[in-house]
Structure 1
């Protein structure tokens, strides 16, 4: 199968696949030498916000499930992603992911098979080619910051499966927004105690011990292996709002 690259509404294959992304062209220091296209770029950014707001306005209660795109279907975390998505649907939530493969695919699959709303918010990347097959409502974004706004604006909480730098980025952004009171009553659950315990130990024994965070910051997330506990925290936050 020929790989395609998705750029908003544009599909590129073979020799037409461009080697850079919109984010790269916006942020790369070399691009700042030429600002002649920035005005048009603002309109494209505005359009992405409008499209995202319009597509998700009637979504209803939703929870974002994050995790590694590299999680194979044989990994226990994949099955856990399916399970947590099914349980969220049973409790009346839509399930939102980054729309990619791995753990994101698992969550979208679980939501779709449970008869729920399965949302994928994709991003233009040089090495990925569109949304996974289990996404029923999908949006492809050019700009990370627009996509991140949609994750937070339209979800009641985050469930975080084992993941890498992208997953950590979403996790710490949510914790930062909660710490700075940009969002309130926003539960964050880390699924997988064996995977996340090292990070939690470092936050407690190094970051907190050195006075870089407050003790209350460690209460902004819950680490568990229990899918039912994770879902119950999402339900409680929804019902309290």
Structure 2
């Protein structure tokens, strides 16, 4: 394992000494549930679904209401995404912290998934700079959902409700190196931009070495085979330059890669 990557801490795992946050409910020790709420929602239920699934609508509705209410007054915001596995010694952690601080100085709230790694770094930068540091946590089977640098946090049970909050309350994304969760948020934003569901939504892929292979594949296969239009590759900027990333996501002008 890379010296810059860290495993999820044992004390974040459910079970004795760990904790799981399910919406407003905190479960520790032997009280943790065996399955996440999303897992139960998506489980194959051959009997009884007509009696259980309609009632879930009330819980889903409550997540949207709580999210809309809590975030309505945060003002202009930028979301920063990236791996939960990135250690404080990693250059990307340090870059995310600087970006979070600089966004605060430029009058933006910083929104992350509220977890460790890159998310913690961006929240730390915003928090220590005196800004609005937002964490949109999610119930997971292996980690606590909120780092200590979040000063406005919401815990979600459902990924889809959380994703709406990222897109509704942020005016752009800075996407640091990460895994499947990071890819999910990235391609959700690009799809909504491509289909005209959101307008003028700048996206920055920070880290040329990390994202370069993906961008090459999009250009050499997806675009070349006709699955993308040339304009689709203009929907994001790839950069290693923090000031260029800030200019782009804040709409101050930057050339695309």
TM range, smaller chain: over 0.9
Scaled by the length of structure 2, what TM-score is found? 0.90
Corresponding position of 1:97 = 112
Which whole-Å CA distance do the structure 2 matches of 1:150 and 1:16 have between them? 29
Give how far 1:34 is off. Answer: 2.5
1:63 — aligned with what?
78
Any conservation in 2 of the 1:66–1:104 contact (CA below 8 Å)?
Answer: yes
Shift of 1:27: 1.2
Off by >6 Å, runs of 4+ in structure 1 = none
What SS class does the counterpart of residue 16 from structure 1 fall into?
A: coil
Alignment-derived partner of residue 165 in structure 1: 180
Of 118, 121, 131, the match for 2:146: 131
- CA displacement 1:134-170 (0-9 Å, x = unmatched): 0000000000000000000000000000000000000
Q: Is the 8 A contact 1:112 1:118 kept in 2?
A: yes
Answering whether residue 139 of structure 2 is matched by residue 113 of structure 1, we say no
2:62 is aligned with 1:47? yes
Per-residue CA deviations over 1:154-211 (Å, capped at 9, x if unaligned) read 0000000000000000000000000000000000001100110000000000110110
Which consecutive residues of structure 1, in runs of 5 or more, have no partner in the other structure?
Answer: none
Distance 1:80 1:226 in 2: 10
Distance 1:83 1:31, change over 3 A: farther
Q: Contact 2:202/2:251 (CA < 8 Å) preserved in 1?
A: no
- Could you state the TM-score of these two structures normalised by the residue count of structure 1? 0.96
C-alpha separation between the residues in 1 aligned to 2:162 and 2:115?
13
Aligned-pair RMSD on alpha carbons?
1.4
Give the drift of 1:234.
Answer: 2.2
Structure 2, unpaired ranges of 5+: 1-10, 12-16
User: Alignment partner of 1:35: what SS?
Assistant: helix
The answer to whether the Cα contact below 8 Å between 1:119 and 1:138 also exists between their aligned partners in 2 is yes
Partner of 1:207: 222
> Going by fraction, where is helix more abundant, 1 or 2?
1
Cα distance in 1 between the residues matched to 2:99 and 2:88: 15
How many residues are matched? 238
Shift, 1:33, TM fit: 5.6
